[in-house]
Amino acid sequence: MLTLETPRLLLRPYTDDDAAFVLDLYSRREVQQFLGVSPKLMKDSAEALALIAAWNRLDDGTCGVWAVQVMDAAGSEHLAGTLLLKPIPASGPERKPSGDIEIGWHFHPDSWGKGYAPEAAAAVLDHALARGLPKVVAVINPANGASRRVCEKVGLHHQGTSDRYYNAVCELFSTERPACP
Ligand SMILES: CC(C)(COP(=O)(O)OP(=O)(O)OC[C@H]1O[C@@H](n2cnc3c(N)ncnc32)[C@H](O)[C@@H]1OP(=O)(O)O)[C@@H](O)C(=O)NCCC(=O)NCCS
């Protein structure tokens, strides 16, 4: 998987050594509350290791899941969150691939409010477009104002609400400009 760098961040693959961070992140209600139709809190490190393995299987040179590591001025580093670029399932009983690619971001509350999510997302969007993806979408729970703001900050265009993905009504953002009315 391609490692990506921004002024403050290193985006690199997750490894098994990151399981404690993954468990800490995904066992939190404030992180999970807007993820999925019925959010489920992670329970143990076995689940964290299984998720890391599943994420690493998504790596195809373009799509993948990155661990976002903060490099501070003093030279120390810590994990802040996750950036995802992956196929998004269509709504429907079988959740078949929709053919579209989604971007997503999950950050640890200790790292909220510092602009890391848009900084990391912008790097992944640049990577996706440089790799030739024609379109990237983001689907946001309508109550998730912070995530909506991240979409706006990276220049994703609001397309209105949509039930096209995940069997849920979401705010849909995409790299494409909305069609003229
Ligand atoms: C979404 C998330 C990544 C945002 O991270 P963050 O570190 O707060 O991002 P930023 O530092 O860029 O700040 C977000 C922006 O949203 C704004 N914001 C925060 N809470 C908000 C709210 N409830 N409503 C509207 N805007 C809000 C902030 O003021 C900021 O905007 P500004 O820079 O113009 O002031 C973080 O909240 C998160 O990981 N949440 C849990 C996982 C999640 O829901 N992911 C999205 C799934 S689609």
Best residue among 40, 105, 111, 169 to mutate for probing ligand 1's pocket (most ligand atoms within 8 Å of CB) is 105
Q: What is the pLDDT of residues 94-129, one digit of tens each?
A: 889 999 999 999 999 999 999 999 999 999 999 999
- The beta strand positions in the chain, using DSSP E, are 4-5, 9-13, 64-71, 77-89, 97-107, 137-140, 157-162, 170-174
* pTM beyond 0.85, yes or no: yes
Q: Is 100 strand, coil or helix?
A: strand
Q: Say if residues 141 and 161 touch (Cβ distance below 8 Å).
A: no
Q: Which residue out of 68, 150, 158 has the highest number of ligand 1 atoms within 8 Å of its CB and is therefore the one to mutate? A: 150
CA dihedral 51, 61, 98, 36 (to 10 degrees): 30
| pLDDT of 180 above 70 | no
Mention the CATH class of domain 4-174. Answer: alpha beta
pLDDT of residue 78: 96
Say whether pLDDT at 37 is over 90.
Answer: no
Residues with CB under 6 A from ligand 1: 31, 34-35, 81, 104-107, 112-118, 140, 144-147, 149-150, 153
Mean confidence (pLDDT) of the chain: 95
